[in-house]
Structure 1
Amino acid sequence: MSSVKECHSITHQLHQLLISAQQVDDHILKRADSLLQEREDLLPSIVPPFTEEERMLGAEMNKWNQVINLKMKALKGLIQRDINGLNKTKVTAQKYNNPYESLQTDGMFYDMRN
């Protein structure tokens, strides 16, 4: 199988995986990462001249890549939101466990007029 056809197959698998993903879980992230790595390893072996069939496959891959990029950005946003939520929960838990930790003592004075 030519490198373009292999890349097309891997891109199709990645496209289908991201389209069918309803939520973020470890399995989907690991599978997407492995497909991206396979495709990255394959890209240097793709060199011109291309046949007409390979050009059509390339055009189809470009369309899929646009969708893949949008889905990956959405996944990144979801992951970032989860991380921010965990950080916020951690800070809230620390404040609950030690409520006087974050008090500022600057600006205090003692009145010595007895």
Structure 2
Amino acid sequence: MPVVKILLEITKNLYDHVSAGLPKEERESYIERLNELLDQRQVTINSLPATYSEDEQRMGRLIVKMNETIDPLLTRQFEEIKHNLSTMKKKKEKNTQYANPYQSVSVDGMYFDKKN
């Protein structure tokens, strides 16, 4: 099977996977599959030949067209994951602060006057 055809199949799988959207549950398995597809694709891209037949050029145009859709979707999903992680971090900090509100208060009761 030609390398370009393999790349086209991997890109179709990646396109289908990303187009399905980021799930609310089971995100870890989604991200693992995404990384697997991206790794397969990179290995295939590295093994592409220097010259192409007309049929391979046609497949290449399809790959580029799908990639134009994949890139913005991946960027949006990355931003959503980053936002969710920062939200979770803030919630964790607030919960810790709520559970122990006097954690950062000085215990010796000393007061330093800043006036000279």
TM range, smaller chain? 0.7 to 0.9
1:33-72 alignment runs, 5 A limit? 33-72=35-74
How far the C-alpha of 1:21 sits from its partner, in A, is 2.5
One-letter code aligned to 1:67: T
Is there any run of 5+ residues in structure 2 with no aligned partner, and where?
none
Q: TM-score, normalised by structure 2?
A: 0.83
Q: Which amino acid counterpart does residue 33 of structure 2 have in structure 1?
A: R
Unpaired segments ≥5 residues, structure 1: none
Structure 1 equivalent of residue 104 of structure 2: 102
Residue in 2 that maps onto 1:7: 7
Percent identical: 24
Say which is worse superposed, 2-11 or 22-31, in terms of deviation: 22-31
Cα-to-partner distance string for 1:77-100 (whole Å, 9 max, x where unaligned): 111111111111111011112212
Q: What residue is the counterpart of 2:85 in the other structure? A: 83
CA apart distance, 1:109: 4.0
Q: For 1:93, which of 74, 90, 95 is the aligned residue?
A: 95
Equivalences, count: 109
8 Å contact from structure 1 (residues 18, 71) kept in 2: yes
Amino acid at match of 2:6: E
Paired with 2:35 and 2:112, the residues of 1 have a C-alpha distance of 58
Q: Distance in 2 between matches of 1:78 and 1:29?
A: 13
CA 1:61–1:104 in structure 2 vs 1: closer, same or farther (change >3 Å)?
A: farther
**Paired amino acid for 1:39:** R
- Please give the TM-score of this superposition, normalised by the length of structure 1: 0.84
1:72 match: secondary structure: helix
Q: C-alpha displacement at 1:42, in angstroms?
A: 1.2
Misfit runs of 4+, over 3 Å: 102-105
